[in-house]
Amino acid sequence: MDRLPAAARATAPASLPPAHLVGLTPADSRLVTATETGAPDGSTHPDERTGGTERTWHVLDNGARLDALGVAPVGTILCVHGNPTWSYLWRGLVQAATDAAAAGHDAWRVIAVDQLDMGFSERTGVPRPLARRVRDLADLTEALDLTGPVVTYGHDWGGVVSLGWAVDHPELLSGVMLLNTAVHQPEDQPIPAPLRLALGRGVLGRATVTTPAFLETTLAIAHPPLAPAVKAGYRAPYLDAARRGGIGGFVADIPVDAQHPSTPELDRIAEGVRALTVPALMLWGPRDPIFSDRYLDDLVDRMPHADVHRFEGAGHLVAEDVDHASAALTWLGDQRAAASFTEHPAATVTATAAPAPGTDRDADADSTTGPMWQHLDALADSPDTALVDMAPGTGPAPRIVSWRLLSRRVREIAAGLVQVGVEPGDRVSLLVPPSADLTAVVYACLRIGAVVVVADAGLGVRGLTRAVRGAWPDHVIGALPGLTAARALGWPGQKISTVPLAPAAARALGVAHTLHDLVDLGAEGDLPAPPEPSATAAVLFTSGSTGPAKGVVYTHAQLCAVRDVLSAQYGIGPGTGLVAGFAPFALLGPALGTRSVTPDMDVTSPRTLTAPAVAAAAAAVDATVLFLSPAALANVVATADGLDAADRTALAGVRTFLSAGAPVPEPLLAAAGRLMPNATPHTPYGMTEGLLMTDISLAGIHDAATSAAATARPAGGVCVGRPTGPVRVRISALDPTGAATGDLTDDADVTGEIVVSGPHVKDRYDRLWLTERASRRTDGSSDGERWHRTGDVGHLDTEGRLWVEGRLAHVIVTADGVVTPVGLEQQVEALSGVDRAAVVGVGPRGTQQLVVVVETVPGARRVSLASVGLAAQVRSAVDRPVAAVLVVPQLPTDVRHNSKIDRAHLSAWAGTVLAGGRMRRP
């Protein structure tokens, strides 16, 4: 306090906030007097209890309103704000909890405190270090005669104070909830820049007390910006310097080093948190310039059982940026339903973020045929080819890697990783293009139990940054482009280069080791025990084609199940030559025991793959199986004139051809089949969350189309075949609003969301608890089988085949009912002169109008309304009211596959155009 102006030592009584503040209910505000206990610094000595001063607090408390409703609380949520906010931060939760109780749901009493010297509580005029604030909160809860179950909820430095209370009150504690906060500052990392600036000599007082700069800066970083009335609410208790002393005192109390007086208390709380076994929830805003994902990672490390949800786009004021209240109450309801809150809150509770031992998922874990590296061990002495590296930059000739060399390299790199500090459970982000190096590193990480984090370079710099920071890896292994981006954008983790670097370059990039170093270090090193099947193996990021890329978590057992279902479905195994134009399949090659190769292509742009490049790859491994994405396949067919006789001979050796990742038009599949005359074309259906769910051959597509034509029901989508191996598929019917609310069924001709189950479906989404919760369904059976909601819509036919009709998010709800887009698009694409089509809805849901957007043949040069003739043809083909037909040079598609139409973007664009906006390209 000696660095703060005299105003910081001002005293003032507590008061009630003005009744007019937006969002506050005056009936919730009250003043509570509590007697100070302990020494002035918050410490307590066995034979000495000082204090005795009475302090008056302002709190928000919905208890009176619950009493008026005649409902008894099921527990108390104790909310603690940080700096420079006050209990106003929790107004939405107070109201939401009261509304929920009024609607007959669980009645939670919410007590949101104004810490002393903050909000409308008393201005004490004396320093209140962290230990004192933790004891202050205990004094208040004692005065309130608080009983369990209590769930704490803290934000910013209120998170630390609430956790201190939680550690000290196990007899009352039933759960912990947190918004952005921190309990530990790494010694090798500076404190966040905004706090360093505020703590600067000569700055602290002016920035926090004399002027409202610190407060205004905080209010300015909301996403979206706060409404003026809300800003006024936050400013209300801090209108003059005498009222802002607590703001400066809080900043001054930040433990910047080991000598700071509050460091011991922060350390005590940080270590105490590790012992908390009660359910925990962390809701996080990644755009926080103060409490970054670094601090979230630390908290997860201390409470690995916690449920975590990162709200992309939200920042420090996450309580304002998103609907945190609904999320918190939903989580509390889940815990109550699972009986996680017991009559004895201190009792150990089953964690919710990971499977408990003895569950069905552990049974699945024990049923695998062997670890992912089993063929590397079995073929460790074989000189036969394991993989061929044709990646750009490998040189004039392909790099051929034997099983003997690959097995040795995997072992050496694995042991080397251990030598440089990589431990089981550590996350290792791989910024390496498909290559022999990537394959060796992946299997080395899996072998020692490190968690592989893989994000597609096609996400772009922003998408990769979001993915890497979201996963917060402990280590990064990268090629030069990836390491350069990691350094420039501040990506976390120890850096390891796949290529040798000059000392100056290594220092500039922060590179600690190279793969060569790891090989040398691991040449004589030992390996740890293999990881358990139920241990986390990988975090694989989705393509971002249906929203921000999501991290999909797989256990070792689930990765093995992916391998096993592929092997069983297509007969892939030792002796198979595999051409993988899709990175995940390239990485699965050694696990399957195949000779594998990735063609010479830019993996971030599938359309760069040519027919000669595919033929060269096929020749390199005597390919019998070939996998390409639809966009890559389209360019292969388009460049087939470049094939020579040797190329065609190599392609003639292919026996099984697969294309998936997006709907594959039958003519494209047939054209590719003509390039591989001895192959059976297949188009599997899957996703990052489950790589193989169903499968159908070209002949099967013809049979399905014939069967559909013979029935009263038109095809209405793309047939993707029957479930593979252990997979089960169900449909949740759409209601009149377009929501998938129906019970799970395998009845024929029911349109709804596609829901799948199988041993190789993902474990969970990484740090996206709400997304994971929304993606799960149960079928109500006694075995409690978990089902994954795919987000796709479709139906099963009478033969058990699945037809995909589009994305759930793209369902159109008109005044005449629900419309799925794919079937209508197929009808338009059958017209002469139309290449591709998209059907979208424009206007309010429930009265949306159909708009058809087409690419024509020949292609248009600019956006326009369709000609009268084309519009009439489209309307006749669709046989539904169509508000407009628009022609575009190119439909917008996703990043990775270059083939999935971005209907959400197209819908917004069409709405703008039809409202009189400029006819720019979508």
Residues 399 and 502 in one domain: yes
Q: Which run of H or E residues covers position 706?
A: helix 698-709
- Domain of residue 47, residue span: 6-337
Residue owning tokens 């058809």: 852
Higher pLDDT, 429 or 50: 429
- In angstroms, the CA 181 to CA 183 distance is 7
Residue owning tokens 């505020």: 198
Residue 394 is predicted with a pLDDT of: 66
Higher pLDDT, 350 or 866: 866
Query: Per the domain annotation, does 353 fall within a domain?
Result: no
- In angstroms, the CA 59 to CA 72 distance is 20
Residues 93 and 73 in one domain: yes
Residues in the chain: 922
Quick: pLDDT tens for 262-301.
999 999 999 999 999 999 999 999 999 999 999 999 999 9
- In angstroms, the CA 283 to CA 769 distance is 9
Strands 173-178 and 536-541: unpaired
pLDDT above 80 for 845: yes
Mean pLDDT of 652-656: 96
Higher pLDDT, 912 or 192: 912
Quick: pLDDT tens for 304-339.
999 999 999 999 999 999 999 999 999 999 999 988
- CATH code of the domain containing 52: 3.40.50.1820
pLDDT interval class at 357 (50, 70, 90): very low
Residues 264 and 325 in one domain: yes
Strands 511-514 and 685-687: unpaired
Give CA angle at 321 (320, 325), nearest 5°: 60
C-alpha closest to that of 850 among 894, 824, 820, 881? 881
pLDDT interval class at 403 (50, 70, 90): very high
Mean pLDDT of 139-151: 95
pLDDT above 90 for 900: no
- CATH code of the domain containing 493: 3.40.50.980
Give CA angle at 436 (435, 440), nearest 5°: 120
pLDDT above 50 for 661: yes
- In angstroms, the CA 466 to CA 384 distance is 41
Query: Per the domain annotation, does 378 fall within a domain?
Result: yes
Give, to the nearest 10 degrees, the angle between helix 436-448 and helix 583-592.
60
What percent of the chain clears pLDDT 90, i.e. is strictly above it? Answer: 74
Structure tokens that stand for 609 in this block: 């793959």
Residue 666 is predicted with a pLDDT of: 84
Mean pLDDT of 361-385: 77
Cα 611 to the center of its chain, rounded Å:
36
Residues 801 and 876 in one domain: no
- In angstroms, the CA 417 to CA 477 distance is 11
Mean pLDDT score of the chain, rounded to an integer? 90
Record the pTM.
Answer: 0.91
- Report whether 689 contacts 675 (CB < 8 A): no
pLDDT interval class at 2 (50, 70, 90): low
pLDDT above 90 for 365: no
pLDDT interval class at 546 (50, 70, 90): low
Mean pLDDT of 16-35: 96
Among 528, 558, 588, the domain boundary falls at: 558
Mean pLDDT of 620-628: 95
pLDDT above 70 for 369: yes
- In angstroms, the CA 728 to CA 616 distance is 38
Dump the DSSP string for 16-79: PPPTTSTT--GGGEEEEEEEEES-TTS--BTTB--EEEEEEEEEEETHHHHHHHT---SEEEEE
Give, to the nearest 10 degrees, the angle between helix 583-592 and helix 556-570.
90
Dump the DSSP string for 210-259: ISSHHHHHHHTT-SSPPPHHHHHHHHGGGSSGGG-HHHHHHHHTS--STT
- Residue 330 DSSP class: H
pLDDT interval class at 784 (50, 70, 90): low
What is the three-class DSSP state of 129? coil
Query: Per the domain annotation, does 579 fall within a domain?
Result: no
Which residues are paired to 813 by β-bridges? Answer: 818
pLDDT above 50 for 907: yes
Q: Per the structure, how many domains does the chain have?
A: 4
Residue owning tokens 């709400």: 770
pLDDT above 50 for 644: yes
C-alpha closest to that of 509 among 535, 478, 538? 478
- In angstroms, the CA 561 to CA 903 distance is 33
User: What is each CA distance from 746 to 167, 657, 718, 756, 833, in whole angstroms?
Assistant: 49, 29, 18, 11, 38
Cβ count near 257 (within 10 Å): 9
pLDDT above 50 for 753: yes
Mean pLDDT of 189-193: 71
pLDDT above 80 for 761: yes
pLDDT above 50 for 354: no
- In angstroms, the CA 327 to CA 93 distance is 10
Residues 830 and 796 in one domain: no
- In angstroms, the CA 679 to CA 673 distance is 7
Mark out the alpha helices in 510-580 (DSSP H runs): 515-522, 556-570
Residue 204 is predicted with a pLDDT of: 84
Mark out the alpha helices in 41-180 (DSSP H runs): 63-69, 91-102, 130-143, 157-168
Residues 154 and 231 in one domain: yes
pLDDT above 60 for 56: yes
Residue 467 is predicted with a pLDDT of: 86
Residues 544 and 487 in one domain: yes
- Report whether 536 contacts 453 (CB < 8 A): no
Residue 328 is predicted with a pLDDT of: 98
pLDDT interval class at 351 (50, 70, 90): very low
Structure tokens that stand for 384 in this block: 């036969």
Quick: pLDDT tens for 156-178.
999 999 999 999 999 999 999 99
Torsion of CA 745, 748, 754, 759, to 10 degrees: 70
- Report whether 513 contacts 420 (CB < 8 A): yes
pLDDT above 60 for 782: no
Among 320, 337, 354, the domain boundary falls at: 337
Torsion of CA 576, 478, 468, 600, to 10 degrees: -40
| Most confident range, picked from 264-273, 585-594, 598-607 | 264-273
Amino acid type, 362: D
Q: Which run of H or E residues covers position 322?
A: none
Q: Residue 257: left (phi > 0), alpha (psi -120 to 50), or beta?
A: beta
What percent of the chain clears pLDDT 70, i.e. is strictly above it? Answer: 92
pLDDT above 80 for 663: no
- In angstroms, the CA 675 to CA 711 distance is 33
Query: Per the domain annotation, does 384 fall within a domain?
Result: yes
Query: Per the domain annotation, does 546 fall within a domain?
Result: yes
pLDDT interval class at 363 (50, 70, 90): very low
Residue 51 is predicted with a pLDDT of: 65
Structure tokens that stand for 152 in this block: 């704490």
pLDDT interval class at 353 (50, 70, 90): very low
Query: Per the domain annotation, does 688 fall within a domain?
Result: no
- In angstroms, the CA 843 to CA 841 distance is 7
Farthest CA pair distance, the chain: 96
- Report whether 756 contacts 794 (CB < 8 A): no
Which residues are paired to 884 by β-bridges? Answer: 851
- Residue 256 DSSP class: -
Mark out the alpha helices in 622-665 (DSSP H runs): 630-638, 645-652
Residues 308 and 436 in one domain: no
Give CA angle at 881 (875, 883), nearest 5°: 85
- Residue 718 DSSP class: E
Residue 44 is predicted with a pLDDT of: 61
Query: Per the domain annotation, does 312 fall within a domain?
Result: yes
Residues 93 and 218 in one domain: yes
- In angstroms, the CA 425 to CA 462 distance is 26
- In angstroms, the CA 422 to CA 842 distance is 52
For the sheet with 834-842, list strands across it: 834-842, 849-856, 882-887, 864-865
- Report whether 403 contacts 374 (CB < 8 A): no
Strands 690-695 and 536-541: unpaired
Q: Which run of H or E residues covers position 112?
A: strand 108-113
Residue 350 is predicted with a pLDDT of: 37
pLDDT interval class at 499 (50, 70, 90): very high
Encode burial over 763-794: b for 16+ CB neighbours within 10 A, e otherwise: bbbbbbbbbbbebebebeeeeeebbbbbbbbb
pLDDT above 80 for 395: no
Query: Per the domain annotation, does 885 fall within a domain?
Result: yes
What is the three-class DSSP state of 901? strand
Dump the DSSP string for 860-882: PSS-EEPPHHHHHHHHHHH-S-E
Residue 48 is predicted with a pLDDT of: 46
User: What is each CA distance from 911 to 717, 839, 847, 907, 918, in whole angstroms?
Assistant: 25, 13, 14, 6, 11
Residues 315 and 384 in one domain: no
Encode burial over 581-608: b for 16+ CB neighbours within 10 A, e otherwise: bbbbbbbbbbbbbbbbbbbbbebebbbb
Residues 327 and 383 in one domain: no
C-alpha closest to that of 713 among 616, 823, 606? 823
Residues 107 and 235 in one domain: yes
- CATH code of the domain containing 823: 3.30.300.30
